[in-house]
A = this chain, B = another copy of it.
Amino acid sequence: MKTTPPSSSIEDYVKVIYSFTEWQDKPITSTQLAARLGVANSSVSEMVRKLKDQDLVEHEPYSPIRLTAAGLTLALSMVRRHRLLETYLVRELGYTWDEVHEEAELLEHAVSETFIERMSAKLGNPTRDPHGDPIPDAGGHITMAPSHRLDELDPGHRGRVSRISDHDPELLRYLEQHGIGVDTELQVVGRRPFGGTLVIARLPSPGAPSRTDDAGHLDLGDEAAVSLWLATVGTHPGCTVQEPAGGTLMHPHATGV
């Protein structure tokens, strides 16, 4: 019984397939997958065949790609690794918000299951990473408050920032400069007729030091708006939204002790 551990390429493919469906539910296509991985379409076709052979995805030629239960388990394990690493780098090694993504991207393939669990314990088993993304527990369960993407909300809507996509460090620095982070309260003030630019107001946050431009208006472009999620004010976290096949989420790297 010789089960080869998944290569880091395979881990990346599965993770990207998963994240595509994390905040909406259309399955990913070859071309989208290729774009997100930064590889040629032909590479994706080949690799998807391999993923299918290993029963990590379902795929019929010329149709989109969906994770199997096994694929979802692996993906959640990778997401857990990534987000715990990001949290750790920020809390223990003084990384900033915008630096962590790249480092976590490399480390997630190298660390052992032991490392992950010791790290999680040391952090107090957090359920959110520094960008507000939910961290699956060791069993692959995710708990999170319901939230909506900023560009989908109507003007007038108020809420607390629940997550900020970590894919654009530039944007993260911009938001930080303007005092917007996880838990900042915002209100959607209006929307431009064309170009979809959003105008939002930042409300003075309860605990935070007050800033001269608090409650000022801020113009956000499209890229920014699709990167911010708001939770309804007063919403309490606690609903399980996703979990893997069953049993404990054990990364296949784990040595079977």
Q: Are A95 and B118 in contact (CB under 8 A)?
A: yes
What chain B residues lie within 8 Å of A110 (beta carbons)?
A: 106-107, 109-110
What chain B residues lie within 8 Å of A89 (beta carbons)?
A: 115
Residues 96-137 of chain A: 1 if any B CB is under 8 Å from the residue's CB, otherwise 0? 000100110011011110110011001000000000000000
What chain B residues lie within 8 Å of A118 (beta carbons)?
A: 93-95
Q: Choose among B99, B106, B107, B122 the residue that contacts A93 (Cβ–Cβ < 8 A).
A: B122
Please tell me how many copies of the chain the complex holds: 2
Complex Cα gap A31–B256 (Å): 33
Q: Which residue of B lies closest to A122 (CB)?
A: B93
Complex Cα gap A92–B93 (Å): 11
Complex Cα gap A119–B94 (Å): 10
Complex Cα gap A94–B122 (Å): 10
Q: Give 21 CB contacts A-B under 8 Å.
A: A89-B115, A92-B92, A92-B122, A93-B119, A93-B122, A94-B118, A95-B118, A99-B114, A102-B112, A103-B111, A103-B112, A103-B114, A103-B115, A106-B110, A106-B111, A106-B112, A107-B107, A107-B110, A107-B111, A109-B110, A110-B110
